[in-house]
Amino acid sequence: MSNELFSVPQRIMDAISEVIIGKDDIKELLLVTLLSGGHLLIEGLPGTGKTSIAKTFARAISGEFKRIQFTPDMLPSDITGFYMHSPDGSSKFVAGPIFANVVLADELNRATPRTQSALLEGMQENQVSIEGTTHRLAAPLMVIASQVPYGGAGTYPLTEVQADRFLLRAWSGHPSEEEEKSIVSKIDLIEERESSPVEQVTGHEEISQLRQAVRGIYLSEKVRDYIIALTWHIRRNPDVLEGPSPRAGIALYKASRALALLRQRDFVTPDDVKNLFVPALWHRVMVKPEAEMEEVKPVDIIEKALSEVPVPKEP
């Protein structure tokens, strides 16, 4: 891989950091998801920068960008599009906002499960079916969805099938005290940068080349078996109601290769898998009601697996 291509991820990171202070973990997960060809779910409290970081990232990587603000009264056709029929019998297809390269699904869990499901076919198969006709979507397509924690006013839970379509999940919490001081003192500059065009530092061709380079990253049988052992440990946990599907292992496999590339290596280490295990599994683990009453959380089960499954000594 050329030095110029190798520098693209850092250029993306730098462009985002011009607007977003802190949140380096989310920035890295955005890059990992992009290079893996997946979709990212960002969860967090209101006002913690979920929308801003997604929008800035989308602008930095070029491509057509669409933002969908999800509300309880939305219909699936508001996402996929619809046919406009004329009195003379002719019809015209009106494309929805999912026909873009980067789609920001803002506050996804404020829409009903029926409307949320309108994203499923597009995320999985890069196409949508409307009135019996299949329409191909743009390539590349990356969905960045934000959601507020379930249980807040006007929220609906993501179905297991919907959540499973996201490669990784990120948490957007409050900034540190020092970061918040910097945000407050630089708010005028930040707002000016948000309203100005963000520098587009890469394009479709370079992204395609980077994704191809990720596929060439070496992942040994020992690391592969470590991934499988971790997911099966969670499935066997007696507190788990629904264990992770095979997509969890696939997500770890793809994402760990992308992380290795970002760390300037041509091979995956067990630490790459460990660093991505929580983002890859948190939204895929369902806890039994009786365990929830005892305040057992998905992250507790995930961290238990990390502590109990032996780590291979060599990549």
Domain final residue, candidates 206, 239, 254: 206
| C-alpha angle 141-147-153 in degrees, rounded to nearest 5 | 150
Asked if 280 and 302 sit in the same domain, the reply is yes
Asked if 156 and 59 sit in the same domain, the reply is yes
> Which of 258, 241, 250, 252 is CA-nearest to residue 306?
252
Domain final residue, candidates 206, 240, 271: 206
The span from the CA of 66 to the CA of 101, in Å, is: 8
Residue at 106: amino acid letter = D
pLDDT of residue 150: 64
CA 188 from centre of chain:
29
Asked if 36 and 63 sit in the same domain, the reply is yes
CATH code of 246's domain: 1.10.8.80
The span from the CA of 311 to the CA of 229, in Å, is: 10
Query: Are the CB atoms for 54 and 105 separated by under 8 Å?
Result: no
| Residue 181, CA distances (Å) to 106, 175, 186 in order | 27, 9, 9
Asked if 202 and 162 sit in the same domain, the reply is yes
Question: Which domain, by its residues, includes 271?
Answer: 218-308
Asked if 234 and 154 sit in the same domain, the reply is no
Q: How many domains does the chain have?
A: 2
In a domain, 213, yes or no: no
Each residue's pLDDT tens digit, 207-252: 989 999 999 999 999 999 999 999 999 999 999 998 899 999 999 9
pLDDT of residue 23: 86
Asked if 7 and 139 sit in the same domain, the reply is yes
In a domain, 151, yes or no: yes
Domain final residue, candidates 206, 231, 252: 206
The span from the CA of 222 to the CA of 218, in Å, is: 12
Asked if 189 and 227 sit in the same domain, the reply is no
Asked if 201 and 285 sit in the same domain, the reply is no
CATH code of 105's domain: 3.40.50.300
The span from the CA of 70 to the CA of 12, in Å, is: 27
Each residue's pLDDT tens digit, 256-283: 999 999 998 999 999 999 999 999 999 9
Which tokens in the block code for residue 166?
A: 């996201």
DSSP 218: B
In a domain, 211, yes or no: no
Asked if 92 and 39 sit in the same domain, the reply is yes
pLDDT of residue 55: 83
- What stretches in the chain show pLDDT beneath 70? 1-3, 150-153, 190-198, 314-315
Strands 127-130 and 133-136: antiparallel
| C-alpha angle 271-274-277 in degrees, rounded to nearest 5 | 150
Asked if 298 and 186 sit in the same domain, the reply is no
Asked if 149 and 14 sit in the same domain, the reply is yes
Asked if 130 and 224 sit in the same domain, the reply is no
| Residue 122, CA distances (Å) to 94, 101, 203 in order | 16, 11, 21
Each residue of 258-272: b (16+ CB within 10 Å) or e? bbbbbeeeeebbbeb
